[in-house]
Amino acid sequence: MPSRSLHLLLICICISVGSLLAALSPQILRIRQENVIKLATLGAGLLVGSALGIVIPEGIDSVYDHSSDASIATQKIGILTTTGFVLMLLIDTLIAPHNTHSHNHSHGHVHSHSHGDGSAPPTHAHAHDASDAEAHASHTSQPRRMRSYTPLRPISSTDTSTSPAKAISKTAGLTIHALCDGIALGAATFGDTQGKGLSVVVFLAVAIHKAPASLGLSSSLLSLTPKLSRGFYRLCITAFALSTPFSAMCTYAALRLIHLDASAGSAIPAYALLFSGGTFLFVATQATSEQLECATDRKSFLVMYLVGIFAPVLVSMVFRHGH
């Protein structure tokens, strides 16, 4: 349907422009880290709400509508949702680049707040014991594997790679997951055949989730030493900003090509929605874990997170009553 194609095109333009504006904001405005964390927490909640309250239920309804055997339909639902989740797990574990973050570096960062000159923190009381100090150093220097798409963490200063290599690693990890967000968006738009506002809800979740990611990526790239060239910095930001729209348009186009015969392929949008719901769940759970680590006020975290969870359901109800 041309109307859905135009709708998706407008959504993709909004996501691209919004991502670029968010990426440029650290150079123009002074943004408090607390506000970024709150926005990221809201985005994580929106992903959970969109997956559990919108995408997966719509896919389930569609699968049952186009299936004569309820038991087979149930199996398809479990397989497709689990496959989406597992695929993201494999991408995050085996494909996407990761930063490393050592506990020793983390402790030094904490002490650096009281040592402005960057000098090493004072020796602890147990440092006089050589064996204890060696064991302590061995324990704290072990690197901790970080998720590839955690935008709020700076690039590790212990990484000996060149600035362009660090930038490519950070950008690639975030871009791969942004591509998966686009798959969900494209599938939601294609599956929204009855005008239930499914694509709008998913768009809001993806856009708010992508904004702090763009801001975090930009801040990380700007903090690299030696500094990146202006052209390379813009290339990384642009690649990330266009990743979700690109995969959304490709997914939508692929589904339209497969869905040539309505009788044979009528359940394809449902399958795509369930698969996308699984990918959403993985990104949401990992993003939630990241926000829990960053949150200093648990009450504020819960408020923003719960608002994000219930907002997609409420928005969907408004669209359904409007139609």
Q: What is the pLDDT of residues 4-32, one digit of tens each?
A: 888 899 999 999 999 999 888 877 777 77
Q: List CB contacts of 111: < 8 A, sequence separation 6 or more.
A: 121
pLDDT at 179: 85
Question: Domain ranges in the chain?
Answer: 2-24+35-100+144-322
State yes or no: pLDDT of 90 exceeds 70: yes
Q: Which stretches of the chain are DSSP H helices?
A: 2-28, 33-50, 56-65, 70-90, 103-111, 130-140, 163-191, 198-222, 230-258, 262-265, 268-294, 298-322
Q: Please, what is the Cα angle at 65 between 64 and 68, to 5 degrees?
A: 70
State yes or no: pLDDT of 307 exceeds 50: yes
Rounded distance between C-alpha atoms, residue 111 and residue 55, angstroms: 45
100 membership: H or E segment, kind and range: strand 100-102
For residues 215-223, average pLDDT: 86
pLDDT classification of 119: cutoffs 50, 70, 90: very low
State yes or no: pLDDT of 138 exceeds 50: no
**Could you give phi then psi for residue 288, rounded to 5 degrees?**
-65, -45
For residues 74-83, average pLDDT: 91
Please state whether the peptide bond connecting residue 226 to the residue before it is cis, i.e. omega within 30 degrees of 0. Answer: yes
C-alpha distances in angstroms, 25 versus 30, 43, 124, 219, 291?
A: 8, 18, 41, 9, 21
Q: List CB contacts of 263: < 8 A, sequence separation 6 or more.
A: none
Let me know how long the chain is.
Answer: 323
| Of 84 and 245, the one with more pLDDT | 245
State yes or no: pLDDT of 282 exceeds 90: no
State yes or no: pLDDT of 284 exceeds 50: yes
pLDDT classification of 146: cutoffs 50, 70, 90: very low
pLDDT at 9: 92
pTM: 0.72
Range of weakest confidence among 34-38, 126-130, 227-231, 235-239: 126-130
pLDDT at 161: 60
Segment 158-193, tens digit of pLDDT: 555 667 888 888 888 788 878 878 887 888 788 776
Tokens matching residue 311:
């907002």
Q: List CB contacts of 229: < 8 A, sequence separation 6 or more.
A: none
Proportion of the chain above pLDDT 70, given as a percent: 72
Segment 248-275, tens digit of pLDDT: 999 888 888 877 655 545 677 788 788 8
Of these ranges, 52-66, 151-165, 273-287, the one predicted with the greatest mean pLDDT is 52-66
Q: Within 10 Å of residue 18's Cβ, how many Cβ atoms? A: 17
pLDDT at 19: 92
For residues 201-206, average pLDDT: 84
